[in-house]
Chain A
Amino acid sequence: MFEATALNARNARIQTLFRLLFGLMTGLLILPVIIILFTLIQEGGAVISYDFLFTSPTDGMTAGGIFPALIGTIWLVAVALIISVPLGVAAAIYLSEYAPENWLTRAINLAIINLAGVPSIVHALFGVGAFVLFFNFGTSILAASLTLAVMALPVVIVATRESLQAVPLAFREACWNMGATRWQTIRRVVLPNAVSGILTGVILEVSRTTGETAPIMFTGAVFFTPFLPQSVFDQTMAMSLHLFVVSTQVPGVPEQLPYGVALVLIAMVLTMNSLSIAFRMYLRSRKKW
């Protein structure tokens, strides 16, 4: 009565087949990540040393370290964050909590999504036109970070808006029905519960801007400077551009050097991501629903 029929057996075989197929796809997906990390560590690991991290390049970039580029990238990302996070979060709050449901709001949302699809080289040219020339910031950290910020804004806005909308409407209604204003509702109930999601957007932004090359190479990053930036109006080296330069532009670079630069770049992104993820998990655990 309970024995498997031929049909059962066939269905079971098909089901196994699909499980294997999907598992294989997942394996294929993580394979490149593993290979990249493995290669970088194998080839570039030997290059990493205290001197590599904390000295300037020497001998026409074929020797020495990456310190100015490391510091430069931190400047670029930090300034871009300072600009884009408040702006993006504010815009997302407006769009999610205040804006009426009409064609204008929908048009703005659509524009933001489209902005995310603009190629980075286009952002770069926009940055040259707007920040370097029109606002006359010159090629500087400020111009480069502004360009990065414009590029990262859609990510921050979309992530923030989504995490705001994930806060159940019932909470807002409860507040409004006690006579809370919109802002009191946002400040006391909506934002505290959306912070972890907003942080996800910021993590994405950090990862993305750290690695971007095109938007900064015309607006603020330079091939080489022995000086560390003193203010946002200085030019600076950057990790991503440095990697490009030592890989393709300078003759006579030891084969392992670019791998070392790439390894540090990836390590920076991964470290920042892990820190933010840990922070996010801490915030989530405090969530009260």
Chain B
Amino acid sequence: MPELAIQTNKLSLWYGDFQALFDVDLDIKQGIITSLIGPSGCGKSTLLRSVNRINERLGYVRIKGSIEVLGQNIYDPAVELIQVRKQIGMVFQRPNPLPLSIRDNVLFGHRLHSAERGSKSAQEEILEGALRQVLLWDKVKDRLDSRATGLSLEEQQKLCIARLLPVKPAVLLMDEPCSALDPTGTEAVEELIWQLRGQYTILIVTHNMAQARRASEECIFMLLGKVIEHTPTDEMFVTPVHKETADYIEGRYG
């Protein structure tokens, strides 16, 4: 197992004529939580979305440089997009459970990616495992067949994380996963993300400085499409190297 989960080399990205990322070089370590912070429009979401190649659905996106995930360039023509999406899960700002039952939501990815369905008991095991991992099992075990969209936002977001787990992804990308939640929900989901560290490499975009500080081990500060600073979170918030970083975390802009 390589020690680095995600490596970008001179990654530049354009939306049409607008350059959103400039020569981004990053080494993101495996098994830890790395947060991406920076003011709106700094390219942090763009970067996140390049890592599982959902940007390219917009036809006008152009990319230079490479992104290697576990040592393999995911923009290599030989790479199967479906496998990229399987190995690199994504959690969105707004919880987006499918309009199916809780059970079918959790097993959705598993059913997509396994040639045969597996026995009923095997499926139940996967279901329980995933829901336990996101601390949702006790709450929903009696209503697995009710609709997922009836859950609270916090529970929905946990479910969205749970449905990524059965296919055993290498990396979890999270795009402001708590910004649609109330403070209690935020705390619960943060706690969950913290529990998942070690098992998964987690890259999380956040607007919330306190969240980055609480819930990540390394922190990347971006500004205007460039990476300014990438250090352990404790260091960044105590002794930032660059003046821009210091200004941002002290709330002088952003």
A residues near B, CB below 8 A? 170-171, 173-181, 184, 188-189, 192-193, 287-289
* Inter-chain contact B99/A179, CB cutoff 8 Å: no
Q: Is B113 an interface residue (CB 8 A)?
A: yes
Tell me the bound Cα distance from A173 to B109 in angstroms: 13
Residues of A within 8 A of B92 (CB): 170, 173-174
Are the C-beta atoms of A287 and B99 separated by less than 8 Å? yes
How many chain-B residues does the 8 Å CB contact rule pick out?
Answer: 30
Q: Find A289's partner among B84, B147, B160, B167 (CB 8 Å cutoff).
A: B147
Say yes or no: B99 contacts A178, CB within 8 Å: no
A-B pairs with beta carbons under 8 Å apart, 18 shown:
A170-B92, A170-B96, A173-B92, A173-B96, A174-B98, A176-B57, A177-B54, A177-B89, A178-B85, A179-B82, A179-B109, A179-B112, A184-B112, A188-B100, A188-B108, A193-B99, A287-B99, A289-B147
| Cβ A178 vs Cβ B54 within 8 A | no
Contacts known (A288-B148, A288-B149); A178 close to B86, Cβ less than 8 A: yes
Query: Which secondary structure dominates chain A's binding surface?
Result: helix
B177 to chain A, nearest CB (A): 14
Closest 10 CB pairs of A and B: A179-B85, A289-B99, A288-B147, A288-B99, A179-B86, A289-B149, A178-B109, A174-B96, A179-B82, A170-B96
- What distance in Å separates the Cβ of A184 from its nearest Cβ neighbour in chain B? 6
| Residues in chain B within 8 A of chain A (CB atoms) | 52, 54, 57, 81-86, 89-90, 92, 94, 96-101, 108-109, 112-113, 147-149, 160, 163-164, 167
Q: For B164, give the chain A residue with the smallest CB separation.
A: A178
Which of A170, A178, A181, A192 is in CB contact (< 8 Å) with B108? A178
Query: Cβ of A177 and Cβ of B99 under 8 Å apart?
Result: no
Our pick among A171, A181, A289 for the contact of B82 (Cβ within 8 Å) is A181
A288-B147 Cα distance, complex, nearest whole Å: 5
| Chain A residue nearest to B111 in the complex (CB) | A188
Q: Which residues of B contact A173 (CB under 8 A)?
A: 54, 92, 96
